[in-house]
Chains A and B, each alone.
Chain A
Amino acid sequence: MNMVDLSIKIGSLELKNPVLLASGTVGYGNEISKFTDLSKIGGIVTKSLSLKPRIGNPPQRITETPSGMLNAIGLANVGVEEFVKSKIPFLKEVNSTLICNIAASSVEEYVECTKILTSEESIKAFEINVSCPNVKEGGLEFGNDLKAVGRITAETKKVTDKPIFIKLSPNVARISEFAKVVYSEGGDAVSAINTLVGTSFNIWTKKPKIKNITGGLSGPAIRPVALAKVLEISRNCPIPIIGIGGILTWQDAIEFMIVGASAFQIGTANFINPNTGLDILKGIEEYCIQTNISKISDVTASYQI
């Protein structure tokens, strides 16, 4: 008997449940749909799209680290035009709420991408990636600059009526300052956190294990950091938060909601078990039943400190 209201709202965006699949871990939906029923998931966030296609970084792009992995994919993507032409038709069919992640190397490019994509009816919101650690231009440069994050938020808001989420970098001293800027410039939510900059070396060759030298650390290794960042934002800024960082189980997801997340994204776990999202959905519903919670949104920021 389904008595729990799992739906949530982020700005004007309504989701049937708080389970989102993170950008860069679901491609454009087609491969993962062979393992999981995307129509039951709250929403999927596409691989970062840039105005023009990007081939990505040379190999080696990934390496496993204790309880995590480093990646430096370099925003490999088909570009906005090809995305609209060849990826959107499939994404329409899977009938999941589609959130488009945009990465760019200038404010103008963010605006241009948003402008082109906003006319696509199937796209329900945008997640703006100002925090990719693995590309030379753009990426972290923006994510570390309060003014730039504010401008990107304000300028992209101008060209779309759809909700704008800003994906924040954890590689800053006070993440809540960035959330405040997004909030004051009209952003609808922040996604926190993107990956942490890390590296790993081979002790025999003395060379970095990934070609880009540094990469973004993801997986359970970063979960305590992510939780602390979400909590910091939650205690300092009223903006809705989408929690991300090493979620493998429903318990992890609930923990993110307790510290302030309205919704959460599953990332690295999709590489191991592409059905993680649905497993977690079942788990959080049972948690609500067990603890007499009628609305999942009541879990958000329910921390007792």
Chain B
Amino acid sequence: MLIEKTKFISKTTITANTYLIKVFAPSIAQSAKPGQFCNIKVSENSFPLLRRPFSICDVEGDYIYFMFDIHGEGTRLLRDKKEEDELDILGPLGVGFDLEGDYDTAIFIAGGLGSAPFPFLTKNIPADIEIHSFVGGRAKENVIEYKMKNVLAATDDGSYGFNGNVVELFNSKLETFDTKKIRIYACGPNPMLKALQNLCNEKKIDCQLSVETVMACGFGICQGCPIEKYDGDGYLLVCKDGPVFDSRAVKL
């Protein structure tokens, strides 16, 4: 983890409100792991004051990709960066996805922008492991399948793929994995993660959840991003102990 003055390279539009940016960040790229994030200073002055956390979408050599929705002033400023602009990035941060363990099938479950960390994870899953991706969104335009493998989609309004949410879709396909040793990697809005957590904990399915929260520092000093431990005995920090947690470690 370090602070790197990186260079903004390019921007691509993924959906109407979702962007992918490419940044030249050789030092951070070298040590980044799937599921980790970076805390980005989106302006050179003190507006906005704090950095903004973004999950690492992909890494290619010296380049890092970040995917984000336009939420407010911070993300608008990031979108409007020009080629060669300097971008002050702190990272890589947090504990990413754990790839170790006994499984032969990796299942990715993403809701909306929750697809962001999966391109990098897809690349890092060992070659002998089968990957299946379940991707959900409110409507067709919110489904992000960017660089994901074996995708099944779900939309709340039924405009694309399965009519319903992505956890329901996954549940409906669960028996097709009966003979497999599955490991779930999930990222998305809290209600989705919570539904998935309930399902996985009830059926004793191995599951890792990447959670999102408001943050200030991103590396453990401000204590601003607590998440309750599963047993209710105090808090963990999303920035330092997460953002990826075992589904039996935290209360959503």
Contact = CB atoms under 8 A, between A and B. Distances in A.
Interface residues of B, number: 28
A31 B223 contact: no
A76 B222 contact: no
A305 interface: no
B214 interface: yes
Interface in B215-241: 215-217, 219-228, 234-235, 240
Contact of B2 (A24, A35, A62, A68): A35
A299 B50 CA distance: 30
At the interface, is chain B mostly helix, strand, loop or mixed? Answer: loop
A71 B227 CA distance: 16
Contacts of A135: none
Interface in B18-63: 41, 46-51
Contacts of A64: 48-50, 216
A268 B215 CA distance: 13
Nearest to A64: B50
Contacts of B217: 270-272, 274
A32 B221 contact: yes
A26 B2 CA distance: 16
A282 interface: no
A128 B50 CA distance: 28
Contacts of B46: 67, 220, 248
Interface residues of A, number: 34
Given A27-B221, A56-B226, A76-B223, A271 B50 contact: yes
Contacts of B226: 56, 58-59, 61, 76
Given A27-B221, A62-B225, A272-B50, 15 more contacts: A25-B221, A26-B221, A27-B223, A31-B221, A31-B240, A34-B219, A59-B213, A62-B216, A64-B48, A67-B46, A68-B49, A220-B46, A271-B217, A274-B217, A274-B219
27 contacts: A26-B221, A31-B219, A31-B221, A35-B1, A35-B2, A35-B3, A55-B234, A56-B223, A56-B235, A58-B226, A59-B226, A61-B223, A61-B225, A63-B214, A64-B49, A67-B46, A67-B47, A68-B49, A71-B222, A73-B224, A220-B49, A270-B217, A270-B221, A271-B216, A271-B217, A272-B49, A275-B3
The 5 closest A-B pairs by CB, nearest first: A62-B224, A271-B217, A55-B234, A31-B220, A27-B221
Interface of A: 24-27, 31-32, 34-35, 47, 55-56, 58-64, 67-69, 71, 73, 76, 219-220, 248, 268, 270-275
Interface of B: 1-3, 41, 46-51, 213-217, 219-228, 234-235, 240
